[in-house]
Amino acid sequence: MRFNPPDNSDPRWDETTRQAIERKVDEAMALAPRLEIDSTAGPLSHEERRVVLRASFNEFVKGASLDHLMTAPPALLEQFSVMALVKDHNIKGELVQLIRVFMMAYADPELNEAARQALASLEASVTAQILKKGPPSWGKFLAMPGSPSARPVGPTR
């Protein structure tokens, strides 16, 4: 079994998974690119951009999940992918490290509250910095249900 095909897909994925990822690539392709991988080389061609997005979104699914890919705004996914490429960071590795480190802190009774506070602080700081630039096209993603900054609506028990 080959685990590093050119598009970074996983040979264990079924056709439904591949089609879902391709739909997300199509969503991103319908938008104007917001960042460039190499400003000296100019923008990617349409096909080069599709190849990069497909490989990056496949890596994203490996590091997080198909559900996370499908619920994330395509513009944000593309920006995340481009930044990882520009910085020469592994998309899957970054996501796995983020999840693993938070899980380690959250699972420790002595660090649990500090982990939640650190996450809420990071989210608030990032949200404030992003909103200083003006509302992003993916602004609804800033306060996802379940995030530390999400506030319940209506009565709570």
As given in the structure block, the two tokens for residue 30 are 């319908």
Rg of the Cα atoms in the chain: 17
> What range does the domain containing 137 cover?
113-151
- Summarised one tens digit per residue, pLDDT across range 44-97 is 889 999 999 999 999 999 999 999 999 999 999 998 998 898 899 999 999 999
Q: Please give the tally of structural domains in the chain.
A: 2
**Do 31 and 10 lie in a common domain?**
yes
Indicate whether 118 belongs to any domain: yes
As given in the structure block, the two tokens for residue 6 are 């050119």
**Do 47 and 14 lie in a common domain?**
yes
Confirm if 49 and 30 have CB atoms less than 8 A apart. no
Distances (CA, A) of 29 to 14, 45, 48, 128, 150: 23, 11, 11, 28, 30
Question: How many degrees, rounded to 5, is the angle at CA 34 between CA 126 and CA 18?
Answer: 95
State the pTM of this model: 0.78
